[in-house]
Amino acid sequence: MKNLVIAIDGYSSCGKSTTAKAVAAALHYAYLDTGAMYRGVTLYLLENDIPFDDLERVRQALHQDIHISFKRNRRTGRNELCLNDKIREDDIRQMRISNAVSEVSVIVEVRHAMVAQQQRMGRKRGVVMDGRDIGTTVFPDAEVKIFMTAEVEVRARRRQEELAAKGEHVPLEDIIENLRKRDHIDSTRAESPLRRAADAVLLDTTHITITEQVDFVLDKVSSALFAAYAHKINEQLSE
């Protein structure tokens, strides 16, 4: 059967990454967290005191100094982000990165560099990608496109629990403000804004479990695989 590209886009803390990882595991597909890549760039710029509006230094860093990859953690089974060959997965999830990543994501040079790398990673297909512009920009020909959303208060509580589990305690109001700011920046940026692709299926995760989210996506994958199989049979019969 044909390997598919599964694009899962949507707002922060809707369960995109958790769902995407589970779907990839169920299908034995590769998983790529594109949002982590932008977080990795943000981390590098902050740690090296590179202003986001210094486009020459940002461009130089992207082409010469920033090397992003993923490494599978055998103990947890997670794909973890490596920045310049060092695992920085926990560092990129800090609130200070969440507060800055949308500002970095709007930089055209950053988006071009990350999209090109994402397209190379997914060229062989058989991949689940989650982000904000996968179904519209990175892989507009993806066979399965999901757009996830949820009420902002629910998303904030989920994010607060994730941070608390890592020892970072942030007031709920601060997280809500951060999410709303990121939503606005992501949805209004000129380059590859966050939007639902015309052929993406909407999935509101406000009142459903992760298991239900995964089942929803796998159902859409089954339909896409059946459609691809039927198309192949019809082509063979018409020859």
Please enumerate, by residue number, every residue annotated as part of a binding site for ATP: 10-18
**Three-state SS annotation for the chain:** CCCCEEEEEECCCCCHHHHHHHHHHHHCCEEEEHHHHHHHHHHHHHHCCCCCCCHHHHHHHHHHHCCEEEEECCCCCCEEEEECCEECHHHHCCHHHHCCHHHHHCCHHHHHHHHHHHHHHCCCCCEEEEECCHHHHHCCCCCEEEEEECCHHHHHHHHHHHHHHCCCCCCHHHHHHHHHHHHHHHHHCCCCCCCCCCCCEEEECCCCCHHHHHHHHHHHHHHHHHHHHHHHHHHHHHC
Phi and psi dihedrals of 121, rounded to 5? -65, -30
Q: Which residues are annotated as a binding site?
A: 10-18
| Residue 211, both tokens | 């298991």
- Tokens (6 digits) for 80: 């973890």
Question: Phi and psi (nearest 5°) for 93?
Answer: -95, 0
CA 16-9-194 angle, to 5 degrees, is 130
